[in-house]
Amino acid sequence: MRDTPAHATQPRAALHGHYPHAQSVAEFRQRLVAVQDRIAAACARAGRNPADVRLLPVSKTIDEAHIRMAHAAGCRALGENKPQELATKAEAMADLTDLRWCAIGHLQTNKARLVARFAHEFHALDRLRVAEALERRLQAEGRGLDVYVQVNTSGEASKWGLPPEEAAPFLRALGAYPALRVRGLMTLAMFSADADRVRACFAGLRTLRDRLRQDAPAGMTLDDLSMGMSGDYEIAIEEGATVVRVGQAIFGSRALPDSHYWPGMGG
């Protein structure tokens, strides 16, 4: 690994590949260690400290029994794409009081209540109407929420997120919503086997963040970059990710095609 130049890292063949399913606490531990090892190796290639990269396991479609195994294996935060699924699971596993549920997918205003009540983080903020709905619900709940502004770095119409040029005014407008603690930016890279194109999406988010920092509202440090999933998290880390959202490499391949989560994607 040491001799592999950073630019040679390839997306895992398996953008839609076959990841085995973990079926026991011991297997989940192994899976988590394997991913953390790859995170550490990617950090070493990039001259970064592994402590600066947080693994957020993504448990969408995974049933309660397996989530409880993952928790027993050490998962203390889980990402869910759909607000209703997040809420149902958070309620069913309310006894796991040290588990933080994180909403990572597109949100409609009529589901803001669920995120405000059950989520600790929201990674896909891209509309002021959603910010407004969340703020109102969070005030009612007496809670705050860590948020990441989603940017479309691939130019693909199938991806949610703000066009990069709209990010600066959007961040300024977020100052009006004190319950939303803006941590940084989030993106989904292009789904491609071409590592250079995937890398360009991640590098684009980092460059945008660096630029936005220069005149960000007071107190908004934009420290975090939420980017990278099972197929491309190592590339994301080489480009500065501080949070990687990894589902299948921990829980196993999903039966549902990604088009279920990203409208317009091929299955």
Ligand X SMILES: *Cc1c(COP(=O)(O)O)cnc(C)c1O
Q: How many Cα atoms within 13 Å fall on the side-chain side of residue 267?
A: 5
Torsion of CA 247, 251, 256, 259, to 10 degrees: 10
β-strand pairing of 77-80 with 121-125: unpaired
**230 or 242, CB closer to ligand X?**
230
Of residues 164, 240, 247, 252, which one binds ligand X by CB under 6 A? 247
Q: Which 212-231 positions form the footprint of ligand X (CB under 6 A)?
A: 229-230
Q: How far is the CB of 247 from ligand X (least distance, A)?
A: 2
Q: Which residues contact 171 (CB under 8 A, 6 or more apart)?
A: 149, 182, 212, 216, 217, 220, 222
CA 185 to each of CA 23, 40, 226: distance values in angstroms, whole numbers, following the listed order: 34, 22, 6
Most distant CA pair in the chain: distance in Å? 54
Instruction: Kindly identify the residues of this chain, within the stretch 37-96, that bind ligand X according to CB under 6 A.
Output: 58, 60, 81
- Shortest Cβ contact with ligand X: which residue? 247
Shortest approach of ligand X to residue 207 CB, angstroms? 21
Hey, CA dihedral for 177, 178, 181, 184, is it positive or negative?
positive
Q: Contact between 199 and ligand X (CB under 6 A)?
A: no
**Shortest distance (Å) from residue 245 CB to ligand X:** 4
Q: Which stretch binds ligand X (CB under 6 A): 114-122, 127-135, 202-210, 241-249?
A: 241-249
Q: In whole angstroms, how close is the CB of 229 to ligand X at the nearest point?
A: 4
Site size for ligand X (CB under 6 A): 13
Under the criterion CB under 6 A, does residue 201 sit at the interface with ligand X?
A: no
Q: How far apart are CA 171 and CA 185, in angstroms?
A: 10
Contact with ligand X (CB under 6 A) among 105, 161, 164, 204: 105
Give the Å distances, CA to CA, from 206 to 45, 112, 218.
17, 28, 20
Q: What element of type H or E holds 245?
A: strand 243-246
Judged by CB under 6 A, which stretch of 35-43, 129-137, 169-177, 243-251 contacts ligand X? 243-251
Query: Closer CB to ligand X, residue 225 or residue 229?
Result: 229
Q: Report if residue 159 touches ligand X, rule: CB under 6 A.
A: no
- Decide if residue 248 touches ligand X (CB under 6 A): yes
> Is 13 or 140 the residue whose CB approaches ligand X more closely?
13
- Contacting ligand X (CB under 6 A), which of 103, 151, 246, 252? 246
Answer yes or no: are the C-beta atoms of 190 and 154 closer than 8 Å.
yes
Q: Is 148 helix (H, G, I), strand (E, B) or coil?
A: strand
Residues that bind ligand X (CB under 6 A): 58, 60, 81, 104-105, 229-230, 245-249, 261
